[in-house]
Amino acid sequence: MEPRRTATNRPHHGRPVRRRRRRQGCAPRVLALVIIALILGVGAYALFGSDSNGDEPGNGAGHRRAEGRSGNWIEDEDDPEGDNGVDGGANGNASSGNNDNYEPGPRLPGLPLTLISTRDVTDTGYLSLINHSHPAPSEPDAHLLESAWPTVAVSRIDGMYLHSSALRAISYMFATARAAEVGAFFVSSGFRDFYQQAYLYGDGTSGDLVMPPGFSEHHTGLAADILVVGLGMWDLVTAPEGLWLAANSYRYGLILRYPQGAEDITGIAFEPWHFRYVGRVHAYYIMQQGFVLEEYIQYIRDQGYFSFEKGGITHYVFHQVPTDGMIYVPDGRDFVVSGDNMGGYVVWAVQ
């Protein structure tokens, strides 16, 4: 009886007959896999829809961090003023949906969606609402905090940290101000941990300008107190430098967090020096509509989604509360996700 040919006793001449038969036997399996893939593809297309032009879903990078860049990606560090789509001016054409029976998939024409676990997305926290009613969920990961000095001017060079996204935005803004000879800005306060906030808060008699520990935006590293060399804090109310900050910060993804006249909504007194990073697209829409952050998040929650066109780019912003830990995100496109600190998520993407 001929011995079985194995890797050790295989003849050196020709290819073994047994191996050739095995390769031919794979053909039906490959054909079956192709048929299954086609069936799944057709099912997914029917479930999530197609682009408005009838094309297949885009071939973007899918889930990315906010610092990612692709095509018309607005959070582009080579475009500090946001001129590749969001360049200021309140002339975007906005449209909004309705929260009744909200289903993201079929309700966002031109933006195919897919389900993904919230564990598999990067929550930037850009829109995390922090106020007297909503404590900070946690401090940012250490790798997201960077020393503000020497990237930007600061009131002290040791122990001053900011979230990397906020630091980059503030750096661009300061550079623009210097080039335009607007004024010499510096950061007087950035990230604060619980113990620093407790020290500032003291016994709670410091007034409305200091939040109790655990309830300050400074815990995120996304908030910064910005002052001007040679001017006092309250000089920003009428000084050209302060007016410039209030009018132009949105270009860099920053908003004046506690504007005058919104005290009943924010629960915090007017602070012309306190700016919060939320991302350029959100800052643009907040500025356009005259919202404060509380109003903006509530608007998204009420509407379900809205879209607007700017510079030939369609922007989609939509809100979801996870179901079984799953949310919809764009299929094959870049996007940014932020928890709202109220159990929901805000997703932004471009068409």
pLDDT attached to residue 35:
45
Given the structure tokens 């623009």, which residue do they identify?
176
Complete domains list, the chain, with CATH: 49-127+290-351 (no CATH), 138-277 (3.30.1380.10)
Q: Count each helix (H run) and each strand (E run) in the chain, helices first.
A: 8, 13
**Residue count of the chain:** 351
pLDDT at 219: 95
3-state DSSP call for residue 24? helix
Beta-carbon neighbour count of residue 345 at 10 Å?
A: 20
Among 342, 119, 138, 149, which residue's Cα sits nearest to residue 221?
Answer: 138
Alpha carbon distance 346, 297 (integer Å): 8
For 10-19, the CB contacts below 8 A with 24+ separation are none
Q: Are 74 and 345 in contact (CB under 8 A)?
A: no
Q: Where in the chain does DSSP place strands (E)?
A: 93-96, 113-117, 145-147, 161-163, 185-189, 223-228, 254-258, 271-277, 305-310, 313-320, 326-330, 335-339, 345-350
Element (H, E) at 55: none
- CA contacts within 13 A on the Cβ side of 299: 18
pLDDT string in tens for the chain (351-residue length)? 444 444 444 444 444 444 444 444 544 554 454 444 444 443 333 332 333 332 222 222 233 333 332 333 344 433 444 444 443 333 445 566 655 545 555 467 778 899 999 999 999 999 999 999 999 988 889 999 999 999 999 999 888 999 999 999 999 999 999 999 999 999 999 999 988 898 888 866 555 678 889 999 999 999 999 999 999 999 999 999 999 999 999 999 999 999 999 999 999 999 999 999 999 999 999 999 999 999 999 999 999 999 999 889 999 999 999 999 999 999 988 999 999 999 999 999 997
Query: How far, CA to CA in Å, does 304 sit from each of 13, 242, 320, 334?
Result: 69, 35, 7, 20
Phi and psi torsions of 346, nearest 5°: -110, 130
Rounded to whole angstroms, how far apart are CA atoms 299 and 338? 15
User: Quick check: helix, strand or coil at residue 335?
Assistant: strand
Cβ neighbours for 259, distance < 8 A, ≥ 6 positions apart? 246, 270, 292
The DSSP 8-state label assigned to residue 235 in this structure reads: G
Residue type present at position 18: R
State the pLDDT at residue 30: 42
Is 271 part of the annotated catalytic residue set? yes
CA distance 160 to 192: 9
CA angle (51 as vertex; 48, 57 as ends), nearest 5: 65
pLDDT of the residue at 29 = 52
CA-based nearest residue to 45, from 36, 53, 55: 55
CB 124 within 8 A of CB 337: yes
| Rounded distance between C-alpha atoms, residue 107 and residue 320, angstroms | 13
pLDDT for 120: 95
Residue 109 has a pLDDT of 76
- Which residue out of 181, 241, 271, 294 is catalytically annotated? 271
C-alpha 300: how far from chain center: 15
What's the Cα-to-Cα distance from 234 to each of 38, 141, 242, 318, rounded to whole Å?
A: 65, 33, 9, 37
**Residue 240: other Cβ atoms inside 10 A:** 11
